[in-house]
Amino acid sequence: MPKTVILPMLADGEFHSGQALAETLGVSRTAVWKQLNRLEDLGLELESVRGLGYRIPGGLELLDAAEVRAGLSQRAGELIGDLLLLDTVDSTNAEALRQIESGRARGLVCSAEQQSAGRGRRGRTWVSPYARNIYLSVVWEFSQGAAALEGLSLAVGVAVARALESLGVPALQLKWPNDLLAGGAKLGGILLEMAGDASGACQVVVGVGLNVRMPERAAGEIDQAWTDLFQLCGEAPPSRNALLAAVLNELLPLLAGFEGAGFTPWREAWMARDAYADCPVVVRSADRQIAGTARGVDQRGALQLETSVGIQSLFGGELSMRPQA
């Protein structure tokens, strides 16, 4: 019995007796009990009360293709390819890259309840607990290679921020190159991966992770200041299906137009949300670090770092930025 069989019954947040669960699913009480244990292994909180049965306090919203599609704008509906909603996957970006290899990935959107090996930038792990956050990958084909894609990851940050703002999420900021922050803590991250010819026809996987309601246990694995929509929106974060649709409504038109327009039309909106504008920072790569003052980004999305020898233009790649101690 896959875990998704018992979950929709418990997703309503109401109590269900072991007997009722067993009867509805047509399995033994022991099988139900094993499934309930597995839910706890997934990090889902399960309450059991003698005489009432079991419930997931507050309920749970599972990903639902019909709900996502219902929230799409006409334009996003025209641009989207296949919509792949998975239960558990190693990484939605990895799955998207596999789909590219199989040749069926044009406009593919892939999301999952859980990632067992979620990827962050610079080889880090992206903590991806079950049914609580957003893990999204979108595949887009470009014809002019990597050079025409400068600034794309920054524009994606703007698109995601706009999507959240459209749902009433307050005061979002962007940290170069592509972190989404609220109150100085990380709310989301963006990871672009590429397949094909870096100087010609290529496919880009745009990966977006958003913390919606990070469970305590999973939060213990995060090694940086983080926040989630539950904290920002006072107990009632937007629905995950609505979030997926809102992000796609911004992201798909951005991807469709980026090769023509580049980062320039996005620059002002990025600068308006720049978390480190005019702040003393240190930019690190694997083998060196440069201190200076962050002065926004140029038309190509390069960080403008004012140093003792003048302005240096730095591109994201494997770089990271921290405030000076």
Question: Any idea which residues carry the catalytic annotation?
Answer: 121, 186, 322
User: Closer to ligand BTN at the Cβ: 18 or 120?
Assistant: 120
Applying CB under 6 A, does 124 fall inside the site for ligand BTN?
yes
Q: Which of 68, 84, 108, 136 binds ligand BTN (CB under 6 A)?
A: 136
Q: Is 120 annotated as a binding residue?
A: yes
**Which listed range, 91-99, 240-248, 250-258, 316-324, lies at the site for ligand BTN (CB under 6 A)?**
91-99
* 92 among annotated binding-site residues: yes
In the bound complex, what is the minimum distance in angstroms from residue 105's beta carbon to ligand BTN?
Answer: 15
Residue 209 interacts with ligand BTN (CB under 6 A)? yes
**Shortest reach from residue 128's CB to ligand BTN, in Å:** 7
CB of 138 to ligand BTN, least distance (A): 10
Q: Which of 77, 107, 120, 238 binds ligand BTN (CB under 6 A)?
A: 120
Is residue 264 part of an annotated ligand binding site?
A: no
**Contact set for ligand BTN, span 156-195 (CB under 6 A):** 179, 189-191
Q: Which is nearer to ligand BTN, 54 or 135 (CB)?
A: 135
Q: What is the 3-state secondary structure (H, E, C) of the chain?
A: CCHHHHHHHHCCCCCECHHHHHHHHCCCHHHHHHHHHHHHHCCCCCEEECCCEEECCCCCCCCCHHHHHHCCCHHHHHHCCCEEEEEEECCHHHHHHHHHHCCCCCCCEEEEEEECCCECHHHCECCCCCCCCEEEEEEEEECCCHHHHCCHHHHHHHHHHHHHHHCCCCCEEEECCCEEEECCEEEEEEEEEEEECCCCCEEEEEEEEECCCCCHHHHCCCCCCECCHHHHCCCCCCCHHHHHHHHHHHHHHHHHHHHHHCCHHHHHHHHHCECCCCCEEEEECCCCEEEEEEEEECCCCCEEEEECCEEEEECCCCCEEEECC
Binding flag, residue 206, ligand BTN (CB under 6 A): no
**Choice from 91, 153, 241, 249 touching ligand BTN (CB under 6 A):** 91
189 vs 316, beta carbon nearer ligand BTN = 189
Query: Where along the sequence are the contacts to ligand BTN (CB under 6 A)?
Result: 91-93, 115, 118-121, 124, 126, 135-137, 179, 189-191, 207-209
Residue ranges at the known binding site for biotin: 91-93, 115, 119-121, 186
